Amino acid sequence: MPYRYLLFHKPYDVLCQFTDDGEHGTRRTLKDYVPVTGVYPVGRLDRDSEGLLLLTNHGSLQHRLSDPKFHHPRTYWVQVERIPDDAALQRLRQGILIQGIKTRPAIVTLLPEEPALPLRDPPIRFRKTVPTAWLELTLTEGRNRQVRRMTAAVNFPTLRLVRVAIGHLQLTGLAPGQWRDITPDELRPLQDLCR
Q: Which residues are catalytic?
A: 46
Sign of the dihedral defined by the CA atoms of residues 140, 135, 79, 130, in that order: positive
Which of 154, 149, 134 is closest to 87 using CA atoms? 154
Which of 127, 116, 131, 155 is closest to 83 using CA atoms? 131
